[in-house]
Amino acid sequence: MGVLEGCGGKETAVGAVSCSKLPVPIRIIHHLLTLMVILGKTMGIKKPFTEVIRANIGDAQAMGQQPITFLRQVMALCTYPNLLDSPSFPEDAKKRARRILQACGGNSLGSYSASQGVNCIREDVAAYITRRDGGVPADPDNIYLTTGASDGISTILKILVSGGGKSRTGVLIPIPQYPLYSAVISELDAVQVNYYLDEENCWALNVNELRRAVREAKEHCDPKVLCIINPGNPTGQVQSRKCIEDVIHFAWEEKLFLLADEVYQDNVYSPGCRFHSFKKVLHEMGPEYSSNVELASFHSTSKGYMGECGYRGGYMEVINLHPEIKGQLVKLLSVRLCPPVSGQAAMDIVVNPPVPGEESFEQFRREKESVLGDLAKKAKLTEDLFNQVPGVRCNPLQGAMYAFPRIFLPARAVEAAQAHTMAPDMFYCMKLLEETGICVVPGSGFGQREGTYHFRMTILPPVEKLRTVLQKVKEFHIKFLEKYA
Amino acid sequence: MGVLEGCGGKETAVGAVSCSKLPVPIRIIHHLLTLMVILGKTMGIKKPFTEVIRANIGDAQAMGQQPITFLRQVMALCTYPNLLDSPSFPEDAKKRARRILQACGGNSLGSYSASQGVNCIREDVAAYITRRDGGVPADPDNIYLTTGASDGISTILKILVSGGGKSRTGVLIPIPQYPLYSAVISELDAVQVNYYLDEENCWALNVNELRRAVREAKEHCDPKVLCIINPGNPTGQVQSRKCIEDVIHFAWEEKLFLLADEVYQDNVYSPGCRFHSFKKVLHEMGPEYSSNVELASFHSTSKGYMGECGYRGGYMEVINLHPEIKGQLVKLLSVRLCPPVSGQAAMDIVVNPPVPGEESFEQFRREKESVLGDLAKKAKLTEDLFNQVPGVRCNPLQGAMYAFPRIFLPARAVEAAQAHTMAPDMFYCMKLLEETGICVVPGSGFGQREGTYHFRMTILPPVEKLRTVLQKVKEFHIKFLEKYA
């Protein structure tokens, strides 16, 4: 059961967009595998592994990460306000809960909120952004609470996409990309315009490549939107300030609407790397840019150090959105009434955590640093271990929570895959799963340069377990190379 | 602030679909009104009322209804499992919480679930449906947990709609309708095919009218989907078993896909009325129907006796869905990862409440009966009071939670509205709001027969407050008639 349960997320999204490329959708693999495991258990059939390790999906708590205590305390108080009288809950948690409840209809998480989200939570988000960006102001009116970041991204794309024929909207996305983008673009019948990240250069975004992509796209569509994922998913790069400036300048030149997917903003590990928000850089580039470039940026409760995926909390901030478009946005959002209020409350705690001097601060700090410290350790460990394997090359995991190593597959493996009408990296991942129980996602689900092969693996298992997993992948890989040499 | 907050829901959905009909969207009214209230407060300007009463939106807890204790206890335990050791929580609530958590990745509401929803919750939903329908079996594989019913309805419509030109998909909806339908149909560029409910006959659905609508629609589109809302929103009728049989037979004849919006299935008040599910009637009509007619039915945590709108919990059950369509459905759902797990947990408690012999049963029964008993009282009170007002005619509120009275407006009022470029019932609702602070939604937002006028008002305020509200509407109406006589 556990296997099916945990596989509902990211990797089925992969299945959704890559069916043409993946003759056996990865979801089906999991179903088969589950059956194998169940049959194995009930019929005594032996598998070469005892446990399935779901390193396919960025689902921290499913991999054993514990929720941040303060966040859950506030959520419990909001859920069942009788607990506000309980001496077992700290005062700062109660203060947060009271503030959220007072802003809810009937003082209850059970009421609808405004479609844009609860007012005081939007104010807290704006205050958070202002702090994060060293004083660059954020306006609560520009904040929209969402059902996770996915909901915000697909909603704004829905509004921006229009036209048919040569005037069909082109949406630029990085390759490799998180497959939500390709799925939504295809749903909306827009044109997916690929720009390739530079694998030789730690997956950096090169503006010349953007220029090429836009130039070629103009021959058959109207490129209007530029999507950026920073820190990158699945590629883990953290963009430099210079790179962001170049991208903004390019968007200004080409009048592109910028979508900045910044859900991994707390997940930066490499020394020398720092998260710079597009909003802050835009502001600092001066009024010519900051009054003209249209930007929507996204955040979520699902990643960072909290990993609260199940609550589906998120927000987007929009800058320079045309008032008419803003009107359309509110209309579109209002059809679905409101984002889950519990997810909104979770978002509030993420942007309004305990501060020094508050009762819960020390425990909060400890828990947060422990998660982020472990992730940094695991990022390094993963890079190092993969690069020891012959035929594997892995860029530094500067941020986010995935490794996306390149695997060099022998010609005979490629032929064997073709004989099974499978993409070669799909064939590889399938074998890995069958032989080790380790579940990762083939690069073809994210897009990659023709003739190159990759897979995405999360670094979410606990440190020691991750070490074992990496060791197993290494052994599998060496055997695989031998078999198909 | 409170006004803006509470207005985010249903009535902005009205704004979203009826802009062409409503020159001043009702959302703007609320914004103006809020400004008026704030200005009135700060500048000492007197309004003729002291409180805004939001009778525009089916948001029970915002109107003061208390959450069901058991539901919130289980939710709190799931949120903060430390409470499982607390002696202040009953054992049956702990048992439910443990069961839900065991089915979640990492035993946490913070993990993604499968896109279709948590397995054990889908099993509980299936068991609930089987009980509700007197043993007609339900299959967990046919259950999809959703982000409220709206999400399920728009997802399934997205899959069913296709084609262009004369082969554009026609979707039959009742008039008056809940405006989610018209909004989604327009979003999907499908054709809205109206069938009119029979106001003279308690808003009953007449199959001859369906026949007329389909016949005329076939001239310009391909009618494929038939939407039913039972109990009705905004019209409050409860369909008889005979009527449902006729509708199913018609769908079978015309090969229409049935969408049964049954979110008010617990809200039936009139003696002699009973809720019959489409699923049950379909089954009882024999295999020719039950193996062929395609059906999706919807339920939600937002209505009934629990009124948990904010959690955005819901489910749909699909019957006879073609495997290929099912595949597409799963793909589409997986792009958005999963419905909020807290909403799924809330849905679980709705379908798996305390039973006789369990510790919490008595309190649960008392709370549930109190809410439903009050609603029944308020339904009768509202019908009786409206029918005492000259120029108002109100059908019995057999179910759901709204009155949708017809108002007969004098010719001079219609002229005055036109002078303000407003729909006449919009003009009326606007005046009602300005003079009494009572916020209701004009019938033009739901659709109505040409030349007739209505408004929708919830019956959610507490009994005594509702009595006052109705009295005020009565006084306003009499003055309005006098003014425009």
What are the tens digits of pLDDT across the range B71-83? 999 999 999 999 9
Helices (H) and strands (E) counted in chain A, each on its own, are: 18, 14
Picking from A1, A110, A340, the nearest residue to B307 by CB comes out as A110
Compute the nearest-CA separation of B53 from chain A (Å).
12
Q: Does A340 sit behind a cis peptide bond, omega within 30 degrees of 0 on the bond before it?
A: no
pLDDT at B18: 29
Complete edge-to-edge strand list for the sheet that includes strand A143-147: A143-147, A313-319, A295-300, A257-261, A222-229, A169-175, A191-196
Of A403, A446, A402, nearest in space to A194 by CA: A446
Q: Determine which of A86, A108, A115 to mutate to test the interface with B (most B C-beta atoms within 10 Å).
A: A108
Give burial (CB, 10 Å; 0-12/13-18/19+) of A449.
middle
Q: Determine which of A3, A5, A119, A144 to mutate to test the interface with B (most B C-beta atoms within 10 Å).
A: A5
pLDDT at B5: 27
Greater model confidence, A437 or B48: A437
* Comma-separated ranges of CATH 3.90.1150.10 domains in chain A: 2-65+366-483
Q: Determine which of A27, A63, A68, A79 to mutate to test the interface with B (most B C-beta atoms within 10 Å).
A: A79
The two structure tokens encoding residue A312: 């589906």
Please report how many Cα atoms fall inside a 13 Å half-sphere around the Cα of residue B43, on the Cβ side.
8
Residue of A nearest to B11 (CA): A334
Helices (H), B161-260: 180-187, 207-217, 241-254
* Comma-separated ranges of CATH 3.40.640.10 domains in chain B: 112-351
> Is A88's CB within 8 Å of B86's CB?
yes
pLDDT at A43: 53
pLDDT at B1: 27
Q: What does the DSSP 8-state code read for residue B66?
A: P
The H or E element containing residue B73 is: helix B69-79
Compute the nearest-CA separation of A241 from chain B (Å).
31
Q: Which residues of A touch B145 (CB under 8 A)?
A: none
Residues B151 and B158 sit within 8 Å (Cβ to Cβ)? no
Please report how many Cα atoms fall inside a 13 Å half-sphere around the Cα of residue B467, on the Cβ side.
4
Residue A403, beta-bridge partner list: A457
Concatenated DSSP letters for B394-455?
-----BTTEE--EE---HHHHHHHHHTT--HHHHHHHHHHHHH-EE-EEGGGT---TT-EEE
The number of C-beta contacts closer than 8 angstroms across A and B is 254
Pairing of strands B257-261, B295-300: parallel
pLDDT per residue rounded down to tens, chain A (485 residues):
232 222 333 333 223 222 232 223 444 444 445 545 554 455 555 678 888 889 899 999 999 999 999 999 999 999 999 999 999 999 999 999 999 999 999 999 999 999 999 999 999 999 999 999 999 999 999 999 999 999 999 999 999 997 666 789 999 999 999 989 999 999 888 999 999 999 999 999 999 999 999 999 999 999 999 999 999 999 999 999 999 999 999 999 999 999 999 999 999 999 999 999 999 999 999 999 999 999 999 999 999 999 999 999 999 999 999 988 888 898 888 888 899 999 999 999 999 999 999 999 999 999 999 999 999 999 999 999 999 999 999 999 999 999 999 999 999 999 999 999 999 999 999 999 999 999 999 999 999 999 999 999 999 999 999 999 999 999 999 999 999 98
Q: Which residues of A touch B164 (CB under 8 A)?
A: none
Choosing among 3.30.70.870, 3.20.20.70, 3.30.1330.10, 3.40.640.10, the CATH entry for A112-351 is 3.40.640.10
Q: Which of A12-26, A176-190, B336-350, B411-425 has the lowest mean pLDDT?
A: A12-26
Picking from A8, A27, A75, the nearest residue to B112 by CB comes out as A8
Q: Which residues of B touch A62 (CB under 8 A)?
A: 105-106, 108, 111-112
The two structure tokens encoding residue A442: 């083939």
Compute the nearest-CA separation of A90 from chain B (Å).
14
Given the structure tokens 């905004």, which residue do they identify?
B234
pLDDT at residue B41 is higher than 60: no
- Does domain A2-65+366-483 fall under CATH 3.90.1150.10? My reply is yes
**Reduced DSSP (H G I as helix, E B as strand, rest coil) percent helix, strand, coil of chain A, to 5:** 50, 15, 35
CA B270 to chain CA centroid, nearest Å? 18
Q: Which residues of A touch B118 (CB under 8 A)?
A: 5
**DSSP three-state, residue B176:** coil
Mean pLDDT in residue range B440-447: 93
Q: Which residues of B touch A108 (CB under 8 A)?
A: 61-62, 67, 310
Q: Which residues of B touch A309 (CB under 8 A)?
A: 110-112, 337
The H or E element containing residue A258 is: strand A257-261
Picking from B5, B113, B337, the nearest residue to A5 by CB comes out as B113
Mean pLDDT in residue range B375-380: 97
pLDDT at B33: 53
Q: Which residues of B touch A113 (CB under 8 A)?
A: 5, 8, 310
**Whole-angstrom Cα distance, residue B201 to residue A484?**
76
pLDDT at A131: 97
Model confidence pLDDT, tens digit, residues B262-312: 999 999 999 999 999 999 999 999 999 999 999 999 999 999 999 999 999
* Comma-separated ranges of CATH 3.90.1150.10 domains in chain B: 2-65+369-483
**Whole-angstrom Cα distance, residue B461 to residue B467?**
9
Picking from B75, B76, B150, the nearest residue to A337 by CB comes out as B150
Q: Determine which of B4, B107, B334 to mutate to test the interface with A (most A C-beta atoms within 10 Å).
A: B334
Please report how many Cα atoms fall inside a 13 Å half-sphere around the Cα of residue A411, on the Cβ side.
0
Picking from A16, A110, A310, the nearest residue to B331 by CB comes out as A16
Greater model confidence, B69 or A22: B69
The two structure tokens encoding residue A11: 């990797």
Q: How far is CA B19 from CA B22, B26, B179, B422, in A?
A: 5, 9, 12, 11
Q: Which residues of A touch B154 (CB under 8 A)?
A: 335-336
Of A404, A406, A400, nearest in space to A376 by CA: A400
What confidence category does residue B431 fall into, taking pLDDT thresholds of 50, 70 and 90? very high
pLDDT at A45: 59
Q: Does A442 sit behind a cis peptide bond, omega within 30 degrees of 0 on the bond before it?
A: no
Of A312, A459, A449, A446, nearest in space to A14 by CA: A446
CATH level 2 (architecture), domain B2-65+369-483: Alpha-Beta Complex (3.90)
pLDDT at B190: 93
Residue of B nearest to A302 (CA): B110
Of A81, A111, A10, A109, nearest in space to A348 by CA: A109
**Whole-angstrom Cα distance, residue B418 to residue B421?**
5
Q: Which residues of A touch B19 (CB under 8 A)?
A: 331
Compute the nearest-CA separation of B223 from chain A (Å).
22
> Is B311's CB within 8 Å of A27's CB?
no
> Is A115's CB within 8 Å of B8's CB?
yes
Helices (H), A336-444: 341-351, 361-387, 411-419, 424-436
pLDDT at residue B417 is higher than 70: yes
**DSSP three-state, residue B192:** strand
Pairing of strands A222-229, A169-175: parallel
> Is A337's CB within 8 Å of B63's CB?
no
The dihedral through the CA atoms of A338, A343, A344, A345 has a sign that is positive
**Reduced DSSP (H G I as helix, E B as strand, rest coil) percent helix, strand, coil of chain B, to 5:** 50, 15, 35
Picking from A61, A103, A180, the nearest residue to B110 by CB comes out as A61
Greater model confidence, A326 or B346: B346
Q: Determine which of A112, A263, A344 to mutate to test the interface with B (most B C-beta atoms within 10 Å).
A: A112
> Is B108's CB within 8 Å of A61's CB?
yes
Q: Which residues of B touch A103 (CB under 8 A)?
A: 1, 5
